[in-house]
């Protein structure tokens, strides 16, 4: 089942445990995937897009932990 909820910087930050400004910086430096939707100039990502990105992003402790199990 796909999760089609749209996440803003705020939801992404809460999901990965960082400040909202950190997520904005990730996008500025090309570390976030392109937004799935832009509404009124504001970027949004599907929750599944971010969950996939989290598993691939450098420094992801969760992926390393899963590999060790």
Check which CATH number belongs to the domain holding 47 and give it: 1.10.1660.10
pTM: 0.80
Mean pLDDT (whole number) for 51-62:
80
Residue 52: give the domain boundaries: 6-56
Provide the domain count of the chain: 1
* Cβ-Cβ contacts under 8 Å for 49 (sequence gap 6 or more): 33, 36
Would you say residue 68 lies in a domain? no
Neighbours of 15 (CB within 10 A): 14
Strand partners, 46: 6
Tokens of 58: 């450098």
Mean pLDDT (whole number) for 16-44:
96
Would you say residue 39 lies in a domain? yes
User: Interhelix angle for 9-16 vs 20-28, to 10°?
Assistant: 110
pLDDT of 63 over the 60 cut? no
């Amino acid at each position: 089942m796909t999760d089609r909820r749209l996440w803003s910087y705020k939801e992404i930050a809460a999901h990965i445990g960082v400040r909202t400004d950190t997520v904005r910086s990730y996008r500025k430096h090309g570390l976030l995937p392109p937004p799935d939707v832009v509404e009124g100039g504001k970027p949004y990502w599907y929750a599944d897009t971010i969950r996939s990105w989290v598993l691939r992003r450098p420094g992801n402790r969760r992926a390393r932990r899963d590999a060790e199990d």
